């Protein structure tokens, strides 16, 4: 939920990004094949491309399909998420860096605050 709030990305999109991060380059067909394992959204590829999570590595030409990659923005986000998951970095408890700790956070986000604090204590 932290990554969803921080980056404005849905959980299925986050899962997809984490999977594609390891693929390096992929075709649209590869994207849709993996996307079938999560909740279906036929506009997801375009949305993720428009939002800058996916970039075109090679345009389609007469003999080759287009190839895509996770954008620099997307790679940076995935690296940060992995560091948080492995305990290399703590999750910020400041409202300036974490939307879950802002006054405007939703009730369900506010309920995560003690868990984030506990997680941070366990990983430091």
Element (H, E) at 115: helix 113-123
C-alpha–C-alpha distance, residues 78 and 19, integer Å: 10
DSSP 3-state of 106 = coil
Same domain assignment for residues 55 and 80:
yes
Task: Tell me how many domains the chain contains.
Answer: 2
Determine contact, residues 83/76, Cβ cutoff 8 Å: no
Same domain assignment for residues 56 and 99:
no
68 phi and psi angles, rounded to 5 deg:
-125, 165
Same domain assignment for residues 34 and 60:
yes
C-alpha–C-alpha distance, residues 23 and 19, integer Å: 7
Give the mean pLDDT of the chain: 91
Question: Of residues 73 and 117, which shows the higher confidence score?
Answer: 73
6 phi and psi angles, rounded to 5 deg:
-65, -45
Residue 35: band (very low, low, confident or very high) from pLDDT cuts 50, 70, 90:
confident
Same domain assignment for residues 62 and 96:
no
Residue-wise pLDDT for 36-66, tens only, equals 888 778 899 999 999 999 999 999 999 999 9
Whether the pLDDT of residue 30 is over 90: the answer is yes
Element (H, E) at 77: helix 72-86
**Regarding beta strands 25-26 and 67-70, do their DSSP bridges make them parallel or antiparallel, or are they unpaired?**
antiparallel
Tokens of 2: 């932290």
Structural domain for 121, as ranges: 92-124
Identify the pLDDT of residue 55.
97
């Amino acid at each position: 939920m932290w990554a969803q709030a921080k980056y404005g990305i849905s959980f299925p999109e986050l899962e997809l990004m984490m999977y594609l991060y390891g693929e390096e380059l992929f075709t649209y067909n590869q994207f849709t094949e993996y996307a079938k394992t999560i909740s279906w959204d036929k506009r997801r590829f375009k949305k993720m491309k428009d939002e800058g999570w996916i970039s075109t590595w090679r345009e389609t030409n007469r003999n080759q399909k287009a190839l895509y990659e996770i954008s620099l923005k997307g790679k940076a986000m995935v690296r940060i998420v992995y560091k948080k998951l492995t305990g290399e970095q703590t999750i910020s408890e400041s409202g300036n860096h974490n939307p879950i700790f802002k006054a405007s956070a939703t009730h369900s986000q506010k309920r995560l605050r003690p868990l984030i604090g506990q997680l941070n204590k366990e990983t430091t």
